């Protein structure tokens, strides 16, 4: 129960981003824990987060495939990262905030997922590779590109703030 309570929010938030469907996410979390509890030994795993996220991801993708077969077209998981999900640091002005938001929402699906797992879930590259089923190096590259994108948007801000800093001192 503790495991469920501790990880529900994180699982739900991740799930709903790839499933884009609250019902499916809730059902998938349900299925995940029903499965886990049929095995008593799970409590012994010292770092359950990556394992839980990975399992949830599979269950959701499977659910999505089923859905799409039924409705006749295939929809692959797509990471939802909308401007409402992004909170910009209050020190950053509005014009730059918009730029950062647009840079983040324009990332590719894979990049969004990696950024999400790294920033929001606090997972490391190896764990992200494990969850998404891509190589460690690919995670590194995806993250690197995403960050570069972000930096390009930030560049004028940083230069400006440094300049202000110099001027005011």
Partner 1 sequence: MNYSEYGVDDFLNDESFQSFALKQKSKDKVFWLEWIAKNPTKKNEVDEAIKILTSFSLKDTTHSESIIEADLQKLQNAFDQQKKSRVVPIGPSKFNWRIAASIALLIGIGIAAWQYVTYFHSKAEKVIVQKDVPNGKKLTFMLPDGSLVKLNGNSSLKYEQNYLLKQRKVTLTGEAYFEVAKDAINPFIVISGDLSTVALGTSFNIKAYADDPQIEISLLTGKVSVTSIRQSSPEEYFLDPGDGIRYTNENSEIITYEFNTEEVMAWKNGIIKFKNASIKEVANKLERWYGVNIQVNNPPDQAWKLNGSFENESLENVLKSISFSTPLKYTLNDNQLEINFLK
Query: What does the binding site for partner 1 look like in residue numbers (CB under 8 A)?
Result: 1, 4-5, 8-9, 12-13, 16, 26-27, 29-31, 33-39, 41-42, 44-46, 51, 55, 58-59, 62-63, 66, 81, 84-89, 92, 100-101, 104, 116, 118-120, 122, 124-125, 140, 143-144, 147-148, 150-151, 154, 158, 161-162
CA angle 65, 110, 16 (to 5 degrees): 55
Contact 24, 63 (CB under 8 A): yes
Q: How many CA atoms lie within 13 A of 34 on its CB side?
A: 7
Buried b (16+ CB within 10 A) or exposed e, 110-130: bbbbbbbbbeebebebebbbb
* Residue nearer to partner 1 on the CB measure, 89 or 169: 89
Q: How far is the CB of 9 from partner 1 (least distance, A)?
A: 6
Least distance in angstroms from the C-beta of 29 to partner 1: 7
């Amino acid at each position: 129960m503790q495991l469920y309570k501790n990880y529900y929010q994180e699982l739900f938030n991740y799930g709903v981003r790839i499933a884009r469907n609250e019902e499916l996410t809730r059902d998938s979390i349900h299925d995940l824990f029903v499965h886990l509890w049929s095995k008593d030994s799970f409590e012994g795993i010292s770092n359950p987060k990556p394992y839980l996220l990975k399992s949830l991801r599979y269950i959701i993708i499977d659910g999505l495939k089923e859905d799409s077969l039924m409705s006749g077209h295939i929809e692959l998981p797509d990471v939802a990262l909308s401007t409402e999900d992004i909170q910009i640091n209050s020190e950053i002005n509005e014009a730059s905030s918009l730029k950062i938001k647009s840079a983040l929402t324009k990332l590719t699906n894979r990049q969004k997922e990696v950024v999400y797992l790294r920033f929001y879930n606090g997972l490391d590259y190896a764990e992200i590779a494990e969850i998404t089923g891509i190589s460690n190096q690919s995670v590194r590259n995806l993250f690197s590109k995403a960050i570069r994108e972000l930096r390009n948007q930030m560049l004028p801000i940083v230069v400006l703030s440094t300049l202000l800093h110099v001027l005011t001192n």
